[in-house]
Structure 1
Amino acid sequence: MTLLLLAAASPLPGLNLHLPGNNSLPWTIVIVLTLITVLPAILISITPMVRLLVVFHFLRQALGTQTAPSNQVLLGLGLMMTWFLMQPVLTQIDQQAVEPYRAGQISGMQALERATAPPKAFMLRYASEKDLELFAAASMVKRPATRADLPLSAVIPAYMLSELKAGFEIGAILFLPFLLVDMVVAAITTSIGMFQLPPVVISTPLKILLFVMVDGWHLLAASLLKSF
């Protein structure tokens, strides 16, 4: 992950990331291109993308619009919000690892070690203690003195579990007002004997209208940003 960040921050013709004992630039390019293929998994694993996509999915299900907004729109919004939220972390990586490496002040391995610190600190900030203990115990590593001493192999899955939990909590709260609209519409249509028209046909436009009237996208984005 950090190797990819370093490569992305450097122009390809001037790329000087070499394997220890191997000064072949073509091999370096092969490794970087291989890492690019796992970029989606890396993006989801160490960024707020998990929480954002879970919340967006719950919102679409609550509105009952099925495919609106489309997956591409929600993914694009999630990517842009993730980029915004991760800017401080990317700035730290650039200052602590990329710039010193470009200046020749540190080696490639030192740059990699420094580049892992900001993302790890970000994940530890939002990973729950219970999830960290679970993976630390399962990995059978020596009990660390502090959270920062945990390996990334334990921090990343713990962070993902914590983000999934947070996303489901926000999604459940988001679902409640729309569920109330569905219940009220269903009760009214049943009481007046309107059995030919499904309640969802009436409740869906009402939920969309309610969401637009309260400026739902702004409120949702503000709530998600404040949760980090």
Structure 2
Amino acid sequence: MALAAAAGLLAFATAAFAQDPVIPKLTLNLAAGQAEPKEISTLLEILFLFTVLTMAPAIMLTMTSFTRIIIVFHFLRQAMGTQQMPPNQIIASLAIFMTFVIMWPVGSQINNLALQPYIAEEIPFDEALKRAEDPIRQFMFKHTREKDLSIFYSISKMERPKNKEEVPLMMLVAAYTISELKTGFTIGFMIYIPFLIVDMVVASILLSMGMMMLPPVMVSLPFKILLFILVDGWNLVIGSLVNTFQ
């Protein structure tokens, strides 16, 4: 739902800036009296929308590919030993844009199946919400291990589901996050290996030359950067990350 809302806001902003700028005005009134059921339903929908927008950062972190990407990037930086290069802001920004690219098919399905029909008043709000939930559930189920899902059923003492449709969304999100953490750590371990070999080779050479006072990390850093450049590391890492979501 948050992805659909983001797509709608982006389309609205693009159309607004293409015309003469108009400053919108929002007015909130609290008045006593009896409200019609339709008005109450509309108010509840607006309240739910604001709630979803408030939780958008948490949704981005736990229901998309962002978790795996940011973990791999931090492992890569620590393996290279470049301290704060690239900066956290650059890594987070790149992870966010990669997340939008990877989640674009899911967002397109939400926009076509739920958001646009709801805007055109072809389907009610509850039906739009259900349609928006289906693509996200399919994406998370694809990358969630059954073992991680069973852990939370054991904790909550809930009855095991007979099919995927019976799995609650909150349970699925928790299991998906655990699965993404394991996958991110696995990829990070594989990234660490070549840089660790470079550190071990440099340390052995310095030890054999009797240069025990010279920090091996200081000497191996240029070689690790050179190795990363020669193999076109960023293209290799990003391409491999994207392929893991195919």
| TM-score with structure 1 setting the length | 0.89
Q: CA deviation at 1:89?
A: 0.5
Return closer, same or farther for 1:226/1:89 CA change in 2, 3 Å cut-off: same
> 1:97 and 2:128 equivalent?
no
1:22 is matched with: 40
Identity across matched positions, percent: 45
Quick one: which of 52, 55, 75 aligns to 1:58? 75
Task: State whether residues 65 and 204 of structure 1, in contact with CA within 8 Å, keep that contact through their aligned partners in structure 2.
Answer: yes
Return closer, same or farther for 1:6/1:78 CA change in 2, 3 Å cut-off: closer
Task: Name the CA distance, whole Å, in 1 between partners of 2:212 and 2:83.
Answer: 23
Query: In structure 1, the residue corresponding to 2:95 is in which secondary structure?
Result: helix
Q: CA deviation at 1:33?
A: 4.0
Return closer, same or farther for 1:7/1:207 CA change in 2, 3 Å cut-off: closer
Task: State whether residues 123 and 159 of structure 1, in contact with CA within 8 Å, keep that contact through their aligned partners in structure 2.
Answer: yes
2:102 is matched with: 85
Query: Cα RMSD over matched residues?
Result: 2.1
Quick one: which of 124, 134, 148 aligns to 2:141? 124
2:227 is matched with: 210
Task: Name the CA distance, whole Å, in 2 between partners of 1:33 and 1:152.
Answer: 19
1:16 is matched with: none
The Cα offsets for residues 158-207 of structure 1, whole Å up to 9 and x where unpaired, read as: 00000000000000010000000000101111111112321111001110
Match runs of 1:1-228 below 5 Å: 2=1, 4-8=2-6, 9=8, 11=12, 22=40, 31-228=48-245
The one-letter amino acid paired with 1:48 is: S
Return closer, same or farther for 1:24/1:133 CA change in 2, 3 Å cut-off: closer
Structure 1 residue runs of 5 or longer lacking an equivalent are 14-18
The one-letter amino acid paired with 2:135 is: P
The Cα offsets for residues 116-173 of structure 1, whole Å up to 9 and x where unpaired, read as: 1110110000000101111233333332211232011110010000000000000001
| TM-score with structure 2 setting the length | 0.83
Return closer, same or farther for 1:78/1:24 CA change in 2, 3 Å cut-off: same
The one-letter amino acid paired with 2:58 is: A
Q: Aligned residues, how many?
A: 220
Query: In structure 2, the residue corresponding to 1:195 is in which secondary structure?
Result: coil
Task: State whether residues 128 and 162 of structure 1, in contact with CA within 8 Å, keep that contact through their aligned partners in structure 2.
Answer: yes
The one-letter amino acid paired with 1:54 is: I
Runs of 4+ in 1 over 6 A off after TM superposition: none
Task: State whether residues 4 and 107 of structure 2, in contact with CA within 8 Å, keep that contact through their aligned partners in structure 1.
Answer: no
Structure 1, 33-42 or 102-111: larger mean CA deviation = 33-42
Query: In structure 2, the residue corresponding to 1:72 is in which secondary structure?
Result: helix
Task: Name the CA distance, whole Å, in 1 between partners of 2:138 and 2:112.
Answer: 15
Task: State whether residues 61 and 67 of structure 2, in contact with CA within 8 Å, keep that contact through their aligned partners in structure 1.
Answer: yes
Return closer, same or farther for 1:91/1:192 CA change in 2, 3 Å cut-off: same
Task: Name the CA distance, whole Å, in 2 between partners of 1:76 and 1:5.
Answer: 17
Return closer, same or farther for 1:163/1:200 CA change in 2, 3 Å cut-off: same
Task: Name the CA distance, whole Å, in 1 between partners of 2:115 and 2:53.
Answer: 18
Return closer, same or farther for 1:102/1:40 CA change in 2, 3 Å cut-off: same
Structure 1, 198-207 or 100-109: larger mean CA deviation = 100-109
Task: State whether residues 79 and 192 of structure 2, in contact with CA within 8 Å, keep that contact through their aligned partners in structure 1.
Answer: yes
Task: State whether residues 139 and 154 of structure 1, in contact with CA within 8 Å, keep that contact through their aligned partners in structure 2.
Answer: no
The Cα offsets for residues 27-55 of structure 1, whole Å up to 9 and x where unpaired, read as: 76565444333221110100011100110
